[in-house]
Amino acid sequence: MFKILRILLFAGMLITGLAASTAQAATPSVHVLTVDGTIVPVIADYIDRGIGEAEDANADVCVIELNTPGGLLDTTEEIVQRIMNAHVPITVYVSPKGSWAASAGTFITLSAHIAAMTPGTTIGAAHPVTTGGEEISEDQMKKVTEFSAKWIRTIAEERNRNMEEAQLAVTESKSFTDIDALEANLIDLRANSLEDLLFQINGREVTLASGASVTINTEEHSTTRNEMSFIEKFLHAISDPNIAYILMSVGSIGIMAEIYNPGALFPGILGAICLLMAFYSLGVLDANIGGILLMLLALGLFVAEFFTPTFGILTAGGVTALVLGSLLLFPDRPPVFRVNPWLIGVMSALFVGFFLFVIQRVIKSHRRQATTGWEELIGKPATVMMTLSPEGQVLFRGEHWKAVSEEGTVEEGEQVIINKVENLKLYVSRKKTE
């Protein structure tokens, strides 16, 4: 009797486990991605990863909440291809209220199996613009516009949307409110919230790229929010023209601070890191190479000011190159891909302030030395910073001095002794070792 009870108990547990696993498997799964900001390569990687995880989980639908002012054409092409070839239904939802899916966002929205918008959102204005700052002829721009118009027509046709209205978003930069877009058959529905969206798409049938027809089931669904990782958020944050410009400026100031005060380490390390991040960001944003070269020239002029003090002449040239380079980084771009003019002014003033401080320190130091007499320098040690053959530079009390060796060539890093001072030039000899 006891043995029969054990068997019945085991069978009951087995049945209960199977029922629970079956219920869990039958629970509809919804994966949600959130795209907020410009469309740059890291966004394409994030969407590819998110859709891939939805496919691996055999999700019933993958929702992309979208809010973007636009982005890069190459990246947009990658995202559109990934959406249109997904193995699970993709819904693009322009959200939250007050957001938009402009330019690149229009292509992405129309490529989805189901396109939806929150009341109070807009879509459109997808006319192409040049990248990298290059100038192209009117005929070339016409060809680019025609290509983009045909591409969006193809997307609209594939998704049974209004091809004519979609084309106008490109050729005439036409924009649509959520009501306009629904009436023009550019989107499938308007939804007040994600839950409202999932309620409305329940039972809809879509056709995947494989040709298979899938009926979306969102009843009593479980929601998985697949957010961007920390690295993805970081790379997306620095892929912004203003952030790239700030990183470039801060990096330059850090390098110059290290040159002015060798051995400080922190300014140099911070400057190098900022410059590397700036170059990544400028590369992602396809910045104009002419603008980058001008900014590097500005850095070179600023550094030259330390070694050949001209009391502001090289600094003035550096500031001029900096401003011109800043303006040329992203010319002929929409506002979202241009550096804020106020930021250019602030950074230029920061550079000027930094060098006024340095120049003031140099002048003050020289005046102080003249007052106390050059005699106090005699016999003091200095470090060779630029090989003396016989002329070069030495570092004395944190300042760079022109120097002349009285004992032939002295290599960088060696210690020397100051013998005399004439016209702000030090005459030195090797430090004798005991």
Active site residue 3: no
**Helix pair angle (73-84, 41-56), 10° resolution:** 10
| Residue 40 CB partners (closer than 8 Å, separation 6+) | 71, 72, 75, 236, 239, 284, 285
Residue holding tokens 């591409």? 151
**In angstroms, rounded to a whole number, what is the distance separating the alpha carbons of residues 355 and 372?**
26
Helices (H), 41-137: 41-56, 73-84, 104-111
Q: Which H helix or E strand runs over 350?
A: helix 341-372
- What is the identity of the amino acid at 298? A
**Pairing status of strand 122-124 against strand 100-102:** parallel
User: What is the distance of C-alpha 177 from the center of its chain?
Assistant: 29
| Residue 430 CB partners (closer than 8 Å, separation 6+) | 405, 407, 410, 414, 415, 416, 417
| 66: β partners | 35, 94
**Helix pair angle (138-158, 104-111), 10° resolution:** 20
Give CA angle at 362 (310, 261), nearest 5°.
105
Q: Which H helix or E strand runs over 245?
A: helix 241-260
What torsion do the CA atoms of 187, 189, 195, 199 make, to the nearest 10 degrees?
Answer: -120
**Pairing status of strand 399-405 against strand 213-215:** unpaired
**In angstroms, rounded to a whole number, what is the distance separating the alpha carbons of residues 280 and 274?**
10
**In angstroms, rounded to a whole number, what is the distance separating the alpha carbons of residues 349 and 39?**
32
* DSSP 8-state symbol, 410: B
What torsion do the CA atoms of 171, 172, 178, 179 make, to the nearest 10 degrees?
Answer: -110
Active site residue 143: yes
Active site residue: 29, 95, 99, 103, which one?
103
Q: For residue 332, how many other CB atoms are within 10 A of its CB? A: 15
Work out whether the CA dihedral 336, 340, 341, 342 comes out positive or negative: positive
Give the residue numbers marked as catalytic.
Answer: 103, 143
